[in-house]
């Protein structure tokens, strides 16, 4: 890959990165506190490694990249592993998992197997050796070949038996246990409740609380004094029977391990197909916050032991297993520019243009900065390295600036005095943090307004994308939404992007919307603060478009779910010259279908949130079904939400529901409640 930096810039950047990474490493691992997330620190290390790849001669011996992970500490006895302790390759999406699946299938085209699915615990890998059924040694992974002897600490873990039980295992295995060596590997973790209890004791003793449970479990095991590990209460879950006792499947090995008296993770299960693996992954992600331990993903292994052995290894990772990790929701990148974006209501949003970066499974090149106050609060400057965060379906945002990496050339951003598009002065309402372009003729506003008008939630006109709208505006064929309905095919033919067929189709699509339900009509007006739900409330309240357009502030304040700010905004629109003009044009062209009395049903008066992908219906259909049953479909979860309906690959809403104690329903439950 071609270097993106000149050598002198790279040298300067590397020096800053080294200092910063070392500082956060110290905080995290020595002082057990943190100022940035582990994901953000990983992102910085990744950048460092990339620059060093371009300029290998700039690598210094003290660079964080030169640290060999897991080098045994000198004070521990070293243990050479009988069988190398491998690590797993990571995947971050279903697509990558399927690629992994395709790769081994190419090597073994006729093989059939199911998959063992286990949780990827955030702990310390340890291998246990039993001789004649007695625990003789416990060792850490180390570099995979040589680990540290931590027998003294591991002996204090109550879930690790000091001798294996043999009364429930098949007799050939009993024979093996009693006469030879059996090796079992697994993870030492600290359960959430034990971590909380430990921290409570720390605080009570006037000591600082621990921040990272994995560091605590690793730190406790790697103590020379076993009393420390004993006091901290650790737990062990096995994930591999290393010794060949004749097991044909991993699931069988898990059974035997449990019969020997060693726990395996109770959530471990078997999936027949990759799709089944995916649905387990989705379910576990939902349960993640409520699990008794911390996990950072799922381990997927081919259940067929013989096949797994046959497939062998690439480098230090086995082909037959993979770690499906939850992708990082925080990464670092550089702000290249801050640009004001004009919304349909004239709201001006500063947007950061970023070096493109992969976060939570998607490439992100823009992040919202919300408003000028937010920029001041964060102290973001153009040229800064920042931590960006993306969770679920939420718009990416900047959460922190790494001022240590700020270049001398970084520029402070200042709020413009004029709209970037129409150059008219901008205003800020006293009660709001947002600046507005108040020019009703602003082309940017106009365009956004037109795009909103034809969008799915409003008039839903097919074939009117942003570039088509641009052409129509440039040719001065439309000025506002009222002009769509007077367009004629002959005006369009010959324009850029327009062939005859397209012109005819577009006019037909527009005419198909000459009859429009009241709520969509109101939504299409694009009144500030009036979204789909508010439009629906207004339609239910006023029933007819005549009643709505005559409404004054007093009437509007009686509408359920509508507050003062929204009522004001609607009243202002209805009495404005612009609003009156558009309404006049639209009402001359379309028939507005009066709103029926609100539907009633089992969901009466309750609010629901739909997240993720449902199998038997689209999101819109699910929300319509909720409304048909008398309920409200809303966008964000609160304590008042009756239930969150959760499909595959849900966003953060499912987690939020769990946090707030809001019930979550799967699709089956949802349909049952609907009476379907
Ligand atoms: Zn403007």
CA distances from 211 to 29, 32, 215 (A): 10, 6, 8
Residue bearing tokens 């956004």 = 448
Q: Exposed, middle or buried, 641 (CB in 10 Å: 0-12/13-18/19+)? A: buried
Task: Return the pLDDT at 391.
Answer: 64
Task: Return the pLDDT at 94.
Answer: 86
Q: Where do you find CATH 2.40.50.140 in the chain?
A: 330-428
Q: Does residue 213 surpass a pLDDT of 90?
A: no
Q: Does residue 657 surpass a pLDDT of 50?
A: yes
User: Which residues, chain by chain, have CB under 5 Å from ion ligand 1?
Assistant: 419, 421-422, 437, 439, 442
Tell whether domain 7-66 is in CATH 1.10.287.610.
Answer: yes
Q: Exposed, middle or buried, 506 (CB in 10 Å: 0-12/13-18/19+)? A: buried
State the chain's mean pLDDT as an integer.
88
CA atoms within 13 A on the CB side of 4: 8
Beta-sheet pairing, 347-359 with 362-368: antiparallel
- CATH H-level superfamily of 330-428: Nucleic acid-binding proteins (2.40.50.140)
Q: Where do you find CATH 1.10.287.610 in the chain?
A: 7-66
Q: Where do you find CATH 1.10.150.20 in the chain?
A: 443-593
Mean pLDDT of 19-45: 82
Distance (angstroms) between ligand 1 centre and the Cα of 426 equals 8
In angstroms, the CA 549 to CA 580 distance is 9
- Per residue in 586-595, pLDDT (tens digit) is 999 999 998 8
Burial 161-191 (b: 16+ CB within 10 A, else e): beebebeebeeebbebbeeebbbbbbbbbbb
What's the topology of domain 88-325? D-amino Acid Aminotransferase; Chain A, domain 1 (3.30.470)
Determine the distance from the C-alpha atom of residue 275 to the mean position of all C-alpha atoms in its chain, rounded to a whole number.
Answer: 20
Residue 418: pLDDT band with limits 50, 70, 90: very high
In angstroms, the CA 249 to CA 307 distance is 10
More confident residue, 290 or 65: 290
Distance (angstroms) between ligand 1 centre and the Cα of 279 equals 47
- Per residue in 261-295, pLDDT (tens digit) is 999 999 999 999 999 999 999 889 888 878 999 88
Kindly provide the residue ranges of all beta strands, DSSP E only, lying in 161-280, ordered along the sequence: 181-189, 235-241, 269-271
Distance (angstroms) between ligand 1 centre and the Cα of 345 equals 10
Residue 434: both structure tokens together: 């947002």
Task: Return the pLDDT at 68.
Answer: 46
Q: Exposed, middle or buried, 642 (CB in 10 Å: 0-12/13-18/19+)? A: middle
Distance (angstroms) between ligand 1 centre and the Cα of 438 equals 7
CA atoms within 13 A on the CB side of 450: 26
Catalytic residues: 120
- What does 425-475 look like in DSSP terms, one character per residue? BEEE-TT-S-EEE--TT-HHHHHHHHHHHTSTTTT--TT--HHHHHHHHHT
Residue 592: strand pairing partners: 516
Residue 435: strand pairing partners: 348, 428
Residue 466: pLDDT band with limits 50, 70, 90: confident
In angstroms, the CA 245 to CA 308 distance is 15
Rg (CA), the chain: 31
Mean pLDDT of 530-551: 91
SS3 content of the chain, % helix, strand, coil (to 5): 40, 20, 40
Q: Where do you find CATH 3.40.50.10190 in the chain?
A: 607-674
In angstroms, the CA 137 to CA 386 distance is 46
Residue 29: pLDDT band with limits 50, 70, 90: low
In the chain, count H helices and then E strands. 25, 28
Task: Return the pLDDT at 280.
Answer: 94
Distance (angstroms) between ligand 1 centre and the Cα of 445 equals 7
Task: Return the pLDDT at 69.
Answer: 46
Interacting residues of 189 by C-beta distance below 8 A, sequence separation 6+ = 121, 122, 123, 124, 213, 214, 217, 234, 235, 236, 237, 293, 294
CA distances from 597 to 541, 543, 618 (A): 9, 8, 25
Q: ipTM value, please give it.
A: 0.98
Of 596, 595, 586, 358, the closest CA to residue 482 belongs to 586
Distance (angstroms) between ligand 1 centre and the Cα of 416 equals 12
Q: Does residue 72 surpass a pLDDT of 60?
A: no
More confident residue, 664 or 222: 664
- pLDDT > 90: percent of the chain: 47
Distance (angstroms) between ligand 1 centre and the Cα of 427 equals 11
The CATH number assigned to the domain with range 443-593 reads 1.10.150.20
Angle separating helix axes 652-660 and 274-287, nearest 10 degrees? 40
Task: Return the pLDDT at 354.
Answer: 95
Distance (angstroms) between ligand 1 centre and the Cα of 348 equals 9
Mean pLDDT of 479-506: 84
Q: Where do you find CATH 3.30.470.30 in the chain?
A: 88-325
Mean pLDDT of 509-535: 92
Nearest-10 Cα torsion for 653, 656, 660, 664: 40
Distance (angstroms) between ligand 1 centre and the Cα of 441 equals 8
Task: Return the pLDDT at 599.
Answer: 67
Task: Return the pLDDT at 595.
Answer: 83
CATH tag for 607-674 (out of 3.40.50.10950, 3.40.50.10890, 3.40.50.80, 3.40.50.10190): 3.40.50.10190
DSSP 8-class letter at 408: T
Residue 220: pLDDT band with limits 50, 70, 90: confident
Q: Does residue 565 surpass a pLDDT of 90?
A: no
């Amino acid at each position: 890959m071609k270097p993106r930096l000149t050598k002198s810039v790279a040298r300067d950047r590397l020096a800053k990165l080294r200092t910063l990474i070392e500082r956060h490493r110290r905080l995290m691992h020595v002082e057990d506190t943190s100022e940035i997330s582990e994901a953000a620190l990983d992102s910085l290390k990744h950048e460092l490694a990339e620059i060093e790849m371009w300029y290998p001669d700039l690598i210094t011996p003290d660079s964080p990249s030169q640290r060999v992970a897991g080098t045994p500490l000198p004070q521990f006895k070293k243990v050479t592993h009988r069988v190398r302790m491998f690590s797993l390759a990571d995947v971050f999406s279903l697509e990558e998992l399927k690629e992994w699946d395709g790769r081994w299938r190419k090597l073994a085209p006729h093989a059939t197997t199911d998959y063992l699915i286990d949780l990827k615990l955030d702990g310390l890998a340890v291998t246990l050796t039993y001789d004649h059924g007695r625990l003789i040694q416990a060792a850490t992974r180390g570099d995979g070949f040589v680990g540290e002897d931590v027998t003294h600490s591991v002996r204090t873990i109550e879930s690790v038996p000091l001798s294996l039980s043999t009364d429930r295992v098949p007799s050939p295995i009993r024979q093996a246990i009693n006469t030879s060596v059996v090796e079992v590997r697994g993870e030492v973790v600290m359960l959430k409740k034990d971590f909380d209890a430990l921290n409570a004791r720390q605080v009570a003793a006037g000591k600082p609380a621990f921040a990272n449970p994995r560091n605590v479990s690793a730190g406790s095991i790697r103590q020379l004094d076993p009393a420390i590990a004993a006091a901290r209460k650790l737990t062990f879950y096995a994930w591999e029977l290393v010794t060949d006792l004749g097991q044909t499947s991993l699931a069988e090995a898990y059974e035997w391990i449990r019969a020997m008296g060693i726990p395996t993770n109770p959530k471990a299960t078997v999936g027949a197909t990759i799709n089944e693996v995916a649905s387990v992954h989705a379910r576990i992600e939902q349960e993640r916050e409520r699990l008794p331990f911390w996990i950072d993903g799922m381990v997927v292994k081919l259940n067929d032991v013989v096949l797994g052995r046959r497939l062998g290894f690439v480098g230090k990772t086995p082909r037959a297993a993979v770690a499906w990790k939850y992708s990082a929701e925080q990464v670092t990148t550089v702000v290249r520019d801050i640009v004001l974006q004009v919304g349909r209501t004239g709201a001006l949003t500063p947007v950061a243009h970023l070096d493109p970066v992969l976060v939570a499974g998607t490439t992100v090149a823009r992040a919202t900065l919300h408003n000028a106050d937010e920029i001041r609060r964060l102290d973001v400057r153009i040229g800064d390295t920042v931590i960006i965060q993306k969770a679920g379906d939420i718009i990416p945002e900047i959460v922190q600036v790494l001022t240590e990496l700020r270049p001398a050339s970084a520029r402070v951003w200042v709020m413009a005095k004029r709209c970037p598009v129409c150059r008219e002065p901008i205003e800020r309402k006293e009660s709001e943090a947002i600046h507005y372009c108040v020019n009703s003729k602003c082309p940017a506003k106009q365009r956004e307004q037109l795009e909103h008008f034809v969008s799915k939630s409003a008039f839903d006109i097919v074939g009117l994308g942003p570039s088509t709208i641009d052409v129509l505006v440039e040719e001065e064929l439309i000025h506002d939404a009222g002009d769509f309905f007077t367009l004629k095919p002959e005006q369009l033919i010959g324009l850029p992007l327009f062939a005859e067929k397209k012109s005819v189709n577009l006019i037909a699509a527009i005419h198909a919307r000459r009859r429009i339900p009241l709520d969509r009509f109101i939504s299409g007006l694009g009144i500030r603060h009036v979204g789909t739900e508010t439009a629906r409330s207004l339609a239910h309240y006023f029933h007819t478009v005549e009643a709505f357009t005559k409404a004054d502030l007093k009437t509007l304040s009686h509408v359920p779910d509508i507050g003062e700010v929204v009522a004001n905004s609607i009243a202002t629109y209805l009495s404005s010259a612009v609003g009156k003009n558009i309404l006049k044009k639209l009402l001359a062209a379309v028939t507005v279908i009066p709103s029926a009395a609100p539907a009633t049903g089992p969901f009466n008066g309750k609010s629901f949130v739909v997240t993720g992908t449902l199998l038997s219906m689209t999101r819109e259909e699910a929300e319509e079904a909720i409304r048909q049953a008398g309920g409200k479909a809303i966008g964000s979860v609160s304590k008042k939400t009756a239930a969150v309906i959760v499909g595959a690959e849900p966003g953060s809403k499912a987690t939020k529901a769990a946090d707030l104690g809001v019930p979550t329903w799967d699709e089956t439950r949802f349909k049952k409640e609907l009476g379907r």
